[in-house]
Amino acid sequence: MTSPKPKLEDIEIQLLLEGVYRYWGYDFRNYALSSLKRRIHQFIKKEGFTSVSNLQAQVLHDQECLERFLLSLTVNVTSMFRDPSFYLALRKDVIPLLRTYPFIRIWHAGCSTGEEVYSMAILLEEEKIYQRCRIYATDFNERVLQKAKSGIFSLKLMQEYTQLYLKAGGKASFSEYYTAGYDSAIIRASLRENIVFAQHNLATDSSFNEFHIIICRNVLIYFNQTLQKRVHELFYNSLCPFGILGLGRQESIRFTSQDQHYQELVKGEKLYRRLN
């Protein structure tokens, strides 16, 4: 019995992703197909292309089109102190462990525009250990990294984040952590000095240090099983013994080959401690 003939559009998408990887080095070949298709269709409609093949021709020859395409594939839905109970768990159950280290290395993988990175910096500052921390904030997309590095956010959003900050156990006035000007707010310089922003692609790049805590929330849900397996291995090999892994609400280490090598640290908050 012969296998069903693949859809022409699926072949076009595979060729598009292969071309982007082989020519530009960005690897989306193991992203979840349903989500990827939806974003490709949205981009085609927005840009006025007639087919995936037309899009491929333009993306491979026009870097500006490529950059717009990359932004369309990147999910940048984030906020400061997103899921406040996660930050409460960090304060209560993770900070006491971090205090035992003379110097703390933290990796925010897939940091997007930086809101959760600065949330971590504020939390560490309030717990009086920020000065002995180094946060590595990485993303594959240079444009969102530049926004994150600037530390500039909408003032209206910062005012909305105040409630999330308070629910996350905030100990001060949230407005102390930024300077307002017109419609924008800039994160206090002292909170940015221990953060290193850098490009890193979870689909292709290797480990670059050993970390006491790795945060990667709401990124793995956009990967297929092959890429999730790769990333879980990368994180496990990048954590020091008894290091902490923090994932998003819909993500888990269950059914991974690393499952038996972690202990659930806080039930329901997707915080895991690597066993020695």
User: Residue 236 carries which side chain, given as an amino acid letter?
Assistant: Y
**Contacting residues for 50 by C-beta, under 8 A, at least 6 apart:** 44
- Run means of pLDDT, 10 residues per run, the chain, 276 residues: 72 93 90 89 93 94 91 80 96 96 97 96 98 97 93 94 96 96 94 97 95 96 92 97 95 89 93 93
CA 61 to mean position of chain CA atoms: 28
From CA 216, how far away is CA 111, in angstroms rounded? 8
pLDDT score of 172? 95
Rg (CA), the chain: 20
> What's the pTM value of the predicted model, to 2 decimals?
0.88
pLDDT score of 75? 66
Reported residue count of the chain is: 276
pLDDT score of 181? 87
pLDDT score of 52? 93
pLDDT score of 182? 87
**Helical segments of 51-135, H only:** 52-61, 63-73, 84-89, 95-98, 115-126
Domains and CATH numbers, the chain: 8-73 (no CATH), 84-152+187-274 (3.40.50.150)
